[in-house]
A and B are shown apart, each in its own frame.
Chain A
Amino acid sequence: MNKKTDRHALIGSRSLAALMVVLLALTGCAHKRTAGGPADMRTPESGAPSPAAQVVRVSSSSATPAETAGGKADSGAAQATDDSEFSDDAYTDDEDFLDEDEDTEPAMDVPDPLAPFNRAMYVFNDRAYFWVLKPVALAYRKVAPKQFRLCVKNFFYNIAAPIRFANCLLQGKFTSAARELTRFFINSTVGCGGLNDLTPLYPDLQTHPEDLGQTFGRYGIGEGFYIVWPLLGPSSLRDTIGMVGDIFIDPVTYFNTTTIGIGTRALDMINLTSFRIGDYEAIKDAAIDPYEALRNGYLQYRRQQVSE
């Protein structure tokens, strides 16, 4: 019984992998870059490739300046009394703000050959969020107490430990791998099957969640190109392949039927979204071009993850 259904899940992932290969062949442009870069869009909290939550995840990353610092953006209007700041003389010619190492442009050197498709997918995801995911997550938030939602979140994060563990090993991060393992055992036992996360009590056990996309990045494989998947959100060629690889070590993949598997992922996604309602809206609100804002945010975020 189990075997049969496993095959089901695997067939799903395999066809996805096949699609990826076709895409790769079609576009003919694979990894040229050497520096690290974004990988798949697994959310650090979930560890599992939780579809649309990823759109939201990236959103939340970019939106959070809002929560903390952003609100403090000051008024140029109020203080712009000294006009000399705006003249050319105020700055020497070589100051292009791009010369510092902190100012390399991750998004500009990752090609976007699928831009028309990606933009369409962006619109699709945007609608899916506002019409389906958000109302569902809001309703869920109303009925499910926060403590329960936190438990669900912890559970999904915990159960995806094999992905993080394997990728720590693949990247030669043995201390992190040991931490992941310890964390998994503590949370699975004392933490009641992963429902509780005890790491806040043990800061030493905190890790940066690793995934295959990041591992590829570590190996010097570039992003390839940017791609937006329906429901899964922003990704890159490299991160997509990484995500497919991670699916094979994700325990959720082996939940006994495809229906339960999909249901589980949907719960994970809705649950995560329930914590992030308003984040995507905030990014969209703040953006001049929301598509580009998400693209750049995703690429910056992944490069940061790879570098950690």
Chain B
Amino acid sequence: MKTIVTFCLGLLLVVTAPAVAGAPGPMETLRVPVNKVLALLKDPQYNTPEKRKIQREKLFEYTGDIFDSVEISRRALGRNWRRFTPEQRKKFTELFAKILKKTYSRKIQSTQEDYKVVWLGEKKTSPTRAVVMTKVVRPSGDFPVDYRMHLKNNRWKVYDVMVEGISLVKNYRSQFNRYLVNKKPAQLIALLQKKVDRMENE
């Protein structure tokens, strides 16, 4: 009897230990902030232009640490990352993150259609990598959105988003690659800076 109890306790420990010690799973990590964002976007109190700014701030607050901007930048540059000095990499990451943040927050704030997110599940591709699969359901048609995530400092972070099979990172990589064929990293940084300035003035 005693041995059975010990065995069960032991089994329990083995089963629960990783869950306690480890980070919440990729899908859980994502679900909480995404649901918060969806609620925020549906909240009617943010319908005025001034309130929209507050809404945007909150949006950034909720999503602040689910994206790994360094990894996104690194992957978006691909092999070209090596051509950048550490300072340039830092500057690039900062500007690129700003551009993504600005353009996409503007876009989701202006989406009027009613939609919801269905969580389809997660798939571990390695102990430190996973894909979280979701589907956006809306009247004019559904589309799949997959998040590629990796475990960094014991937290799951998004490093790529795939919409209908189109990878955001790969899409930018092809643009940056093309640009860097005959241009220097400094020129790309200047171009991004110009884009950021323009967006801030709008």
Cα of A80 to Cα of B191 in the assembled complex, Å: 21
**Residue from A76, A87, A275 in contact with B96 in the complex, judged by beta carbons closer than 8 Å:** A76
A84-113 CB mask vs B (1 if < 8 Å, else 0) is 011110010000111000110111100000
Q: Is the interface of A mostly helix, strand, loop or mixed?
A: helix
Contact A65 B69 (CB under 8 A): no
Cα of A140 to Cα of B164 in the assembled complex, Å: 27
Q: Is the interface of B mostly helix, strand, loop or mixed?
A: helix
Chain A residues whose CB sits within 8 angstroms of the CB of B96 once the complex forms: 76
Q: How far is the CB of B40 from chain A (nearest CB, A)?
A: 10
Chain A residues whose CB sits within 8 angstroms of the CB of B115 once the complex forms: 67
Contact A71 B94 (CB under 8 A): no
Chain A residues whose CB sits within 8 angstroms of the CB of B154 once the complex forms: none
B132-147 CB mask vs A (1 if < 8 Å, else 0) is 0010100111010101
A265-308 CB mask vs B (1 if < 8 Å, else 0) is 00000000001101000100111110011011100110111010
Nearest CB to that of B168 among chain A residues? Answer: A65
Does B163 reach chain A (CB closer than 8 Å)? yes
Contact A64 B97 (CB under 8 A): no
Cα of A85 to Cα of B90 in the assembled complex, Å: 9
**Residue from A76, A88, A304 in contact with B93 in the complex, judged by beta carbons closer than 8 Å:** A76
Q: How far is the CB of A296 from chain B (nearest CB, A)?
A: 4
Residues of A participating in the B interface, judged by any CB pair closer than 8 Å? 44-45, 61-80, 83, 85-88, 91, 96-98, 102-103, 105-108, 146, 150, 153, 275-276, 278, 282, 285-289, 292-293, 295-297, 300-301, 303-305, 307
Chain A residues whose CB sits within 8 angstroms of the CB of B70 once the complex forms: 76, 80, 85-86
Nearest CB to that of A290 among chain B residues? Answer: B175
Cα of A300 to Cα of B161 in the assembled complex, Å: 13
